[in-house]
Amino acid sequence: MTCGKAIKIPDFEVSENKSSERVQKYSLPMFISIGVVAVILICLGFLLIRAGGDAVQRMAANRGISDSVSNLRKIAAALNAYSSDHGTYPPPVVTVGNNRHSWRVLILPYLNENALHSQYNFDEAWNSPNNLRVATSIPAVFQNQKHSNFGAWQSDYFFITGPGTLFPDSGPLSPEQIRDDVGQTLLLVEARRVGEGGMYWSEPVDVKTQGLLAKGYSDLGGVLQGGFTFATVDGKAHFVSDTTDPLVLGAMITANGGERLSDDIFD
């Protein structure tokens, strides 16, 4: 049955062609945009990962510095307490008969290490069997615990000895004998003695000025990256870059050199 009018059949082929044109018209820019966004996201991801890694490294470095700063403050407090009781800082090497001993053993009571001190025998050599057994019980304060994989019983903190220092050959000075600014005079320094003795914290080994002058202060540091920590006579501890001017380091080491450094030199 029909109404007598012509029936118009839709042109499906034309519709498909138009759809294809729309796909061709919009898909390429769309894919380009998606690709650009993906590249940006990947780059951002790499940047975030790198930033995160740098942040972790900075945090680890800061923890290492904090550990040494804390240790140095405790040792400096012990050294100042010793000087208050005895009139001078402890001698770098304690001689009893023919036996030589380290100042680190001498100040153990000032570090609340009385039990360890009582086990040590000053009438024997520092490396006698008995004293070496004591040496294998290193007080935590003598080693940076964040970077302690170098030597199980080695100290990370030393005196600098020699002419012009707090510890000249004539004997240790007292705080009253220091004319330089006590906040700029080095009392104790962080160093890692490689192949030059000091494998035990109780060994009477320190850093000599003659060696520093010959090697350009390269004997200092080695525990932390980028620099080293040290304590000054006033009991404070600081971190200094290994690119610091050698003249500044030399001024820090002398006790009566008359040098005057900037007030914010260690900030």
Name the band, by pLDDT with cuts 50, 70 and 90, for residue 53.
very low
Say how far apart CA 256 and CA 167 lie, in whole Å: 12
Specify whether the CB–CB gap between 160 and 191 falls below 8 A.
no
> Does the residue 17 lie in any domain?
no
pLDDT for 171: 95
Which of 164, 230, 182 is closest to 83 using CA atoms?
182
Say how far apart CA 5 and CA 249 lie, in whole Å: 108
SS (H, E, C) 149-187: CCCCCCCCEECEECCCCCECCCCCCCHHHCCCCHHHCEE
pLDDT, tens digit, 9 for 90 and up, residues 95-109: 999 999 999 999 999
Name the band, by pLDDT with cuts 50, 70 and 90, for residue 233.
very high
> Does the residue 43 lie in any domain?
no
> Does the residue 52 lie in any domain?
no
The phi-psi region of residue 87 (left if phi > 0; otherwise alpha if psi is between -120 and 50; otherwise beta) is left
> Does the residue 38 lie in any domain?
no
pLDDT at 62 over 60: no
pLDDT at 60 over 50: no
Segment 254-264 mean pLDDT: 84
14-37 in b/e form (b: 16+ CB < 10 A) is eeeeeeeeeeeeeeeeeeeeeeee
pLDDT at 124 over 80: yes
Integer distance in angstroms from the first to the last C-alpha of the chain?
Answer: 102
> Does the residue 64 lie in any domain?
no
Three-class SS state of 52: helix
Rg (C-alpha) for the chain, rounded Å, is: 34
> Does the residue 11 lie in any domain?
no
pLDDT, tens digit, 9 for 90 and up, residues 195-222: 566 689 999 999 998 877 766 777 788 8
Say how far apart CA 166 and CA 252 lie, in whole Å: 11
Mean model confidence pLDDT for the chain:
82
* The token pair that represents 250 in the structure block: 């030399």
pLDDT at 2 over 90: no
Structural domain span for residue 120:
73-253
When divided into structural domains, the chain yields a total of 1
Indicate the pTM of the whole model: 0.75
Specify whether the CB–CB gap between 242 and 236 falls below 8 A.
no
pLDDT, tens digit, 9 for 90 and up, residues 145-161: 776 655 689 999 999 99
Quickly tell me which residue has 């600014």 as its tokens.
181
> Does the residue 58 lie in any domain?
no
- Measured between alpha carbons, how far is residue 223 from residues 97, 109, 238 in Å? 35, 26, 14
> Does the residue 39 lie in any domain?
no
Q: How many residues does the chain have?
A: 267
Three-class SS state of 45: helix
